[in-house]
Each structure stands twice: as structure tokens, then as C-alpha cells.
Structure 1
Amino acid sequence: MRIPLTLAAICLAGSVSAQQCGGTFSNFVNDMKSEAMSRGFDANTVNNFFANVSQSDAVLRADRAQGVFQKDFIEFSRNLISQNRVNNAATYGQRFASTFDRIEREYGISKGVLLAFWAFETDFGQVQGNFNTLNALVTLAHDCRRPELFRPQVFAALELYRRGDFSPTNTTGAWAGEIGQVQMLPEDIIANGRDGDGDGHVDLKGSPEDALMSGASMLSSLGWRPNEPWLQEVTLPSNLDWSLTGLNHEMSGAEWASLGVQPRTGQIANLPASILLPMGRNGPAFLAYPNFHVYFEWNKSMVYVTTAAYFGTRIMGAPAYNAGNPTPALSGEEVMSLQRKLQARGHDVGGVDGIVGEMTREAVQTEQERLGMPADAWPTRELLNSL
């Protein structure tokens, strides 16, 4: 489920021109081994680590088959948030209450945030993935789509192996190389792995306490602001200037309130916030606070991030969102057609992929304003036909 793009990977992206990818898999592995030894790993460790590595076609198929992210927010969230998951979140929240209390004390992160990730990533540790992690990482490093992300993860896994915390043959996880109950990449484990159960080891697969503390450490390192909200459902006045909405526009909570924005529950925090309309002005509406942006360091999918953030609020007592009556979503093919038209008008939509991400939404909003349409950034057939 997770589309991994960690802060460490972003920082390394500038060296992609020096990273090798492609060619025969065996030559690629030999190059990796040579680089590993140049980094100071001894030959015996390197040879043992890479001894049985193989390319995984299943990983490549999974990487290219992420159509789930083409679903709209209502469809996606209803698929992921069942009553059973709501009930299980309550159960696990009570079972590991002491760990969540510790996380709140040390990191200022609500248990709802981590329970939502735990639920979506592995169903509370029950489904962690059975892909060989080393094969997955080397396969994706060899593939030339995102070598700047996956090549460093191979060397991080090698470091974990040198420490005795990784098995090239037995460590398994998700198709994209994440390990454990909250699905962390090797670099993240090195930087943020925490011993939550006090046994002297960091076991993200077998120990919920370790996994939760490590996930909290990772969110903190990505910029989580302690003891602040992240998302809040609101109701909007019908005369709101829709061009003010979207994550690229921000005002204080007090300014939004002065425009008639009202919370469904609780009070609006007087923090910088954006109006998030995942399905346009006729669908659900949320205030997105600074912590909402941290979610995008965990996962780049707008629909996943919004769903995970909303589920976190639901776990903490927020009601089910008001679905409203949004204009029907475009199909994946229609979104791609729209993205091509937007590109032709000079907009950067981040690629023609059929996914309504933030760059596509910003381009849609610009064109809606130009055409005199309500500029709520929700792509419609009317806009598609007008372009």
C-alpha cells in the first residue's frame, strides 16, 4: 500500500546521475558489491549478503499496478475504513495504551495517527507482506524508474545485516522493501528504530511496541508538530471564494472562521490551515493543519494521505464524514485525457497517470478560474470538455 518516499531518500535524490541502474541484473549486482566494498564493507560480508539475490518479476508487477490510487476519496476511504477496522483500532488502542501514552509524552503524537497507519499498512501487524526484502530492494534499484530511492536502501539493508538485524534470505515485507508492522524502509529503521518493549532489540516485525515507537520517531523526524491537530472536518458557506481552497492556499484558523467556516465538532485551532476538498465543493470538507503535510513524507498519494489522516480523527472520536453530493469522479482514462490537455496548456501535472494528485488539482483550479467556473480544484467532465 505505501508509496515510500522518505526524507532521507529525498536528500539523496540529487546524486541520481551518479547512480547506476539497468543493464544485466548480474552486472548490476556486481556493481553494487563493488560500491559496497568501496563504502567500507568487508568482502566476506558483501558476498554473503548478495549471495542469493535475484530479480523479482512480482515486485515489478506490483510497482506498475497501483491502480488503487485512481479511486476517489469516498470510494477509497470506504474500502479501507470498515466497522471492523474501527472496532479493532479501539481494541488495539486499549491493548497498547501504555505505549501510546509514552508516545504522546515523548513525541506529542496522538494514538489515532499511529493506529490509522498501523491499520492501513499491515492490519495491525497481521499482513506484513511476504516479498523477500533484499530481492525487492535490488530489483527496484536496478529498475530505472526510481533508483535514487531504492539504491541507498540496499546499502542501508547491508548495514542492518552487518549489525545482525537483517537476513538476506529470511527478511520479508512489502513489495517496495518496507519491513515491519508500520512498514519502514531500511534507512528509516537505522535512523528511527526504537526499542519500545525494553528487550534491548528493535524488532519491527514481531514487537508492536517497537514498531509504534519507531513510527512515532519517524513522524517526529519528518517534522510532526507536537500536540497539534492534523485534520478537522468543517462545513463551508455556500458563498465561499473557492479559489481560496486547496493545499496551496493557507490562512489562519481565525481567518477561516471569519469567512464562515465552521467545525463539525470541537473548535477550529488558530493555526495555519488550508481548506481540503478531496471531491470538490459538494463533497467532504476539511481543514488541513501543518501536521497534515507530514503525511506526504510517509506517502505521496493524496487519496491515501487524506484517508489515513481522516481515519486518525475518526479513531479519536470524530464522526463519519458528511459525504455530501459531489460531482461524479472522472474515470482513470478521463483523468489522463485531462492531464494531457493541462500539459498542453503548460501545466506541470507530475505526469499522465490517471491519478488526481495535488499538482493536477492546482492546474485544474487555475483553469477553472480562467474559464469562470467554481475554482474548487475538482476535475469534472464540464472542465474536460471545455479544454
Structure 2
Amino acid sequence: MPFALARPACLALGLAALLATSANAESAACGGDLASFLQGVKTEAVTIGIPAAAADKALAGAVIDQKVLSRDRAQGVFRQTFLEFSQRTVSQGRLDIGRQKMKQYADVFARAEKEFGVPAGVIAAFWAMETDFGAVQGDFNTRNALVTLAHDCRRPELFRPQLIALIQMVQHGDLDPATNTGAWAGEIGQVQMLPKDIIAHGVDGDGDGHINVKTSAPDAILTAASFIKSLGFRAGQPWIQEVEVPENLPWEKSGLGNEIPASEWFRLGVKPRDGNTTFGSLPAALILPQGRKGPAFLTYPNFSIYLEWNKSFIYTTSAAYFATRLSGAPAYAKGNPEQGLSVEEMKVLQTKLDGVGHDVGDIDGILGSGTRIAVQKAQQRLGMPADGWPTPALLNAL
């Protein structure tokens, strides 16, 4: 059952804890002697009503994990194109397993949609993208990872509240601090969620009285559904829809943030491949991950939950597309995208764009949102189709 029904008293404590830790996050102590730091964490936990015994159990034996710090300092970024990344992640094998899982846990997925309004395909796609349906959940000790990141003074305001929430999970008997493993940044379980989100949205899907998103698929599925709903998912509405685009579209209207009614896109000649135009009243953005000659999609308000889950445009578009495939959509039309730029060429382009006043962020060779917007503006100024896809022709024109 939902966490709120299973433990009303604990939920009240959890909400109080989250409010208190949020209020004190920016002033949270970090660095220095580890024992003193841990004592401070225990004191904070006890102050907001968590039993001292739970804090002692959670923090006993905690150590700084240098591998966590190394991963934090050297976070990778997506250098693959949409076609490259989505073809690799949305493979036939994963689609087959996803459909089998949706059949195996049909009752759980049906409950998720009934209670939270989130379709099975949306949840299953995240399940696949995050851990290959639970097969690869990470091998970092979760307690040590969060202690390390909360103690480190780079982002303590993000991770100290997560450490407090982990203590609450220990208090509830939902996590063994000595043995629980997950991602280097503290995400836990089959859909890789942080302790605060598990505390706030955890659901006991298998009825054993605990919320174990690591080993229980029903718990993971329903907890993910609750979390996705909290991000603003609107039941009964689409999230992304593949479309065909005409050659004479005003390309400067494309891109995230440029929403107009979907019916207006249809009037301009944009055609859904599935023929469904019933959502014409919804605001929609036309996204062209590899320009006007590659795959094209309309994104609807529900696409925002993907951006809340992960800020990478390539990841989120791939995850949203994956969810449509699991929900019955055919494979996208690859098209014939124009040649893109190498990392070094992209850096040259970013330097040129920065030099004429465009905010591209870091000169890193990555086609992020800032660079896409700058490319689109430069294309429009130069009289080129402003589809946001950087090409050798644009680089030469600059």
C-alpha cells in the first residue's frame, strides 16, 4: 500500500525531517574530522525526531569513499548523437525484456496506472534505462557514498538531507547500512532513486510491510509511479509523439521552450506518424535531435517529467521514445541527418559563437541546450534553416 497509508506516523516524521533539513541545508557543516561530522549528523537527526539508536546504526562504521569523490569530480557527459544513443539503449533485446516484464507484473502496472495515472511503458522504460530491469544497480555502499558527498564541501546542501533520509530508511527497517549498495551518488534500487524521494514516495507493493526498491520489483514499480506523478505527470496525456515535417517549416519555431498548440504545428504541415491529432489543444514543442533531416518529435507537457528525472536532452528524448515503443509505437524513421561536428570542431564552433556574444556555457565540445539555442540563432542570422543542428556548413559560414 502507499507509504502514507502504511506508516502515517512515520510519514509525518519524514515530512518534518525533510522540511527541517531543507531549511538548514545551506548552513550544514561539512569537512573536517569525520567523527565530529557524523556526530553533527546524528544530532540533527535526533533534533527532528529520529531515534538516536537509528542514527547510531546507520552511521556506525561509515568511511569516506575516495572512489565516490573521483566519480564526482569526473562526471561523464553524453557525447553521442541521439541516433547513436537511442539505438544502443532502445535495443530489440531491451524491448523484448520490457514487454515480458510488463506482462509478468501486469497487475502491479495496472495498479500503478489506476492509483498514479502513469502508464506501464513510462515506468518500464525508466526501469530499463536506469538498471536494465534491476540487473545493474551499482556497487557503491550507499551509506558511505552519501557520507562522503555530504562531508565533502562541494555540494553538502544536496547530500546531507539525503543522508538524513537514509537514516530514516534504516529506522523503518528498509535498508541495511552495512550492505546496501547502489550508484556512486547515493541512488538506490531498480529505478535509481535517492533516499529523500523514497521516503516521500515509497510504496509497499508486495505487502511485506517494507519498501525495498532494490530487491522488490512491485515496490520499485509503484514507488517510481508515485514519484513520476509527483513530478507533474498528467494521466491520459501523451509525452512525445513522432512526426513527419515538411521542407518549408519555419525552423526557428522548433526547440524546447518554443511551445505552441499542437494544432498549430499540424496546420503548418507537421504530421503525426500515428495519425493521432486528438491532442491538438495541448502545448507542444517540435524537437529535432539531429536537425530537420533526422527524427522529429512533438513534446507535450508530460515531457517535462523526463527533464526533471535527467537533464540530458539525449537521455530524456531516448527515454521518452523508449516509453512510446513499449506502449506500442513503431520504431522512428531515422531519416538522413546532415553530417555533424566532431568534438574538436564543436569546440571551435562554441568558441566562435561565444566570441559573437552567444552564451554556450563551457567550451566543452558538447551539444548542450545553450549551444543548441546559439546555433539556432546563428543559423537564422545567416539565412540558414534554423533547426539547431550544427554542421560543417555552419562552422564554415561563421
User: Unpaired segments of 5 or more residues in structure 2?
Assistant: 1-16
- String of CA shifts for 1:123-182, please: whole Å, max 9, x gaps: 111221111001112222334443332221111111212222222211111122111111
Aligned twin of 2:9 = none
- String of CA shifts for 1:179-210, please: whole Å, max 9, x gaps: 11111100000110011222322111121111
Distance 1:283 1:23, change over 3 A: farther
Q: Are 2:294 and 2:336, in contact at CA under 8 Å, matched by a contact in 1?
A: yes
Aligned residues: 379
Q: Are 2:361 and 2:371, in contact at CA under 8 Å, matched by a contact in 1?
A: yes
Alignment of 1:82-93 (within 5 A): 82-93=91-102
Distance in 2, Cα, partners of 1:188 & 1:49:
18
Amino acid at match of 1:74: L
Q: Are 2:173 and 2:210, in contact at CA under 8 Å, matched by a contact in 1?
A: no
| 1:362 aligned to which of 356, 373, 381 | 373
TM-score, normalisation: structure 1:
0.89
The reply to whether residue 309 of structure 1 matches residue 320 of structure 2 is yes
The reply to whether residue 211 of structure 1 matches residue 215 of structure 2 is no
User: Unpaired segments of 5 or more residues in structure 1?
Assistant: 1-7
The alpha carbon displacement at 1:360 in A equals 2.5
Q: Are 1:13 and 1:149, in contact at CA under 8 Å, matched by a contact in 2?
A: no
Amino acid at match of 2:289: P
Alignment of 1:207-356 (within 5 A): 207-268=216-277, 269-270=279-280, 271-356=282-367
Amino acid at match of 1:185: L
Distance 1:250 1:15, change over 3 A: farther
Alignment of 1:28-177 (within 5 A): 28-67=37-76, 69-177=78-186
Distance 1:13 1:160, change over 3 A: closer
Question: Residue 275 of structure 1: SS of its match in structure 2?
Answer: strand
The alpha carbon displacement at 1:100 in A equals 1.3
Q: Are 2:22 and 2:161, in contact at CA under 8 Å, matched by a contact in 1?
A: no
Q: Are 1:93 and 1:111, in contact at CA under 8 Å, matched by a contact in 2?
A: yes
Distance in 2, Cα, partners of 1:323 & 1:65:
32
Aligned twin of 2:384 = 373
TM-score, normalisation: structure 2:
0.87
Question: Residue 264 of structure 2: SS of its match in structure 1?
Answer: helix
Question: Residue 78 of structure 2: SS of its match in structure 1?
Answer: helix
Distance in 2, Cα, partners of 1:12 & 1:298:
22
Amino acid at match of 1:317: G
Aligned twin of 2:14 = none
Distance 1:372 1:350, change over 3 A: same
The alpha carbon displacement at 1:22 in A equals 4.6
Distance 1:65 1:337, change over 3 A: farther
The alpha carbon displacement at 1:313 in A equals 0.6
The alpha carbon displacement at 1:28 in A equals 4.4
Amino acid at match of 1:380: T
Bigger radius of gyration among the two: 2
Question: Residue 375 of structure 1: SS of its match in structure 2?
Answer: coil
Distance in 1, Cα, partners of 2:395 & 2:118:
41
